[in-house]
């Protein structure tokens, strides 16, 4: 997810590890490394996730069945706390939208971007800006002076900033109300805010209940890219670093399985979110991803986003994206 974000006045949020960490074995298919390092047997990797179905897909696809290490999943409500967890070493790896690494780097948190996750079809929106049913707000320009609920420092924050800037507005022309997703959902339903920038499955659920989309998270407002962030402590260990690359390749296998079996992906999302399958089915194509190494062009795009945040006063420290990227996958991996 590619986005921009307003000023960060408070800490990025409390760490929200899931109450139950799901342990899996590991297995590689033809797309993963067949040779496993015996030293990896002592490792257990904790992977941060945000209810995109990966927990169930990892099991269903068998992607980790042959891995010598173990994995656990830790659930996060949104990106900034996940980046903080990676920086502190509470998790080893996790994916977030394009904005959390920028805000985290501005705070000099000790993490690195190690891979990118891109949508199979970037023109399918995974997040949107919504207004309630019957709202007089019909266009982005109508947001002037209005209250917009946003999870601070998230990809949806970036979408909101890009969206208002596209019609000549600035953060001073609107009222950003910074709320975690669950609180934003309550405020939106109660009419305490005029609009809500949020991703799926919350977006699709709100639309199924009558909300209207006034801006879709598609190019040029949003490119849908997500970045994998990792603990610097993990990366500094050469043996663990190689194992982490194996983890990413197996995650790529799980997402590849989902792309070929969308019905299984729907089932996984239903199990993880509890939503009606019909709500998820309508937008399942937007959940199709592939994982690869960050290219120079993608790094340049993230740098442009970081500069935009700084110029808009949303962060107070200029970020050099190249200093944050530390690819663990080989160049070209996931390109096809």
Beta bridge partners of 117: 226, 291
Query: What are the tens digits of pLDDT across the range 70-87?
Result: 999 999 999 999 999 999
Q: Where are the domains of the chain?
A: 22-121+223-323, 127-216
User: Could you tell me the pTM of the whole model?
Assistant: 0.83
* pLDDT in the model for residue 335: 61
φ and ψ at residue 244, rounded to 5 degrees: -65, -35
Tens digits of per-residue pLDDT, 129-188? 999 999 999 999 999 999 999 999 899 999 999 999 999 999 999 999 999 999 999 999
Tokens representing 157 are: 């924050």
Q: Classify 325 in phi/psi space as left (phi over 0), alpha (psi -120 to 50) or beta.
A: beta
pLDDT at 7: 29
Torsion of CA 171, 175, 178, 184, to 10 degrees: -130
CATH number for the domain whose boundaries are 22-121+223-323: 3.40.190.10
**How many helices, marked H, and strands, marked E, lie in the chain?**
11, 12
- Asked if domains 22-121+223-323 and 127-216 share a fold, the reply is yes
Sequence-ordered list of residues with C-beta below 8 angstroms from that of 230, at least 6 positions apart, any chain: 86, 92, 93, 111, 112, 114, 244, 326, 328
What is the CATH superfamily name and number for domain 127-216? Answer: Periplasmic binding protein-like II (3.40.190.10)
């Amino acid at each position: 997810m590619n986005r921009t974000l307003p000023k960060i006045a408070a800490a990025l949020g409390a760490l929200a590890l899931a109450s139950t960490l799901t342990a899996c074995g590991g297995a590689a298919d033809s797309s993963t490394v067949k040779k496993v390092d015996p030293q990896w047997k002592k490792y257990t990797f904790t992977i941060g996730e945000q209810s995109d179905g990966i927990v169930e897909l990892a099991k269903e696809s068998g992607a980790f069945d042959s891995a010598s290490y173990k994995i656990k999943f830790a659930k996060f409500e949104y990106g900034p706390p996940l980046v903080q967890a990676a920086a502190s070493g509470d998790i080893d790896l996790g994916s977030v939208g394009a904005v959390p690494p920028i805000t985290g780097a501005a705070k000099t948190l000790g993490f690195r971007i190690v891979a990118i996750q891109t949508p199979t079809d970037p023109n399918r929106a995974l997040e949107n800006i919504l207004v309630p049913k019957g709202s007089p707000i019909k266009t982005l320009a109508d947001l002037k002076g209005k209250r917009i609920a946003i999870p601070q420092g998230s990809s949806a924050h970036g979408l909101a900033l890009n969206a208002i800037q596209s019609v000549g507005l600035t953060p001073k022309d609107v009222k950003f109300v910074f709320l975690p997703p669950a609180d934003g959902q309550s405020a939106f339903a109660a009419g305490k805010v005029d609009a809500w920038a949020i991703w799926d499955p919350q977006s699709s659920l709100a639309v199924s209940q009558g909300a209207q989309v006034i801006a879709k998270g598609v190019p040029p407002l949003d490119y849908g890219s997500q970045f994998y962030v990792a603990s610097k402590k993990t990366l500094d260990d050469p043996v663990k670093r190689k194992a982490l690359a194996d983890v990413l390749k197996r995650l790529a296998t799980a997402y590849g399985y989902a792309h070929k079996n969308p019905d299984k992906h729907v089932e996984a999302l239903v199990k993880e979110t509890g939503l009606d399958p019909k709500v998820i089915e309508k937008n399942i194509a937007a959940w199709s991803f592939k994982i690869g190494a960050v290219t120079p062009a993608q790094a340049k795009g993230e740098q442009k986003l970081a500069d935009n945040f700084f110029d808009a006063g949303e962060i107070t420290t200029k970020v050099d994206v190249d200093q944050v990227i530390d690819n663990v996958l080989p160049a070209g991996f996931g390109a096809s």
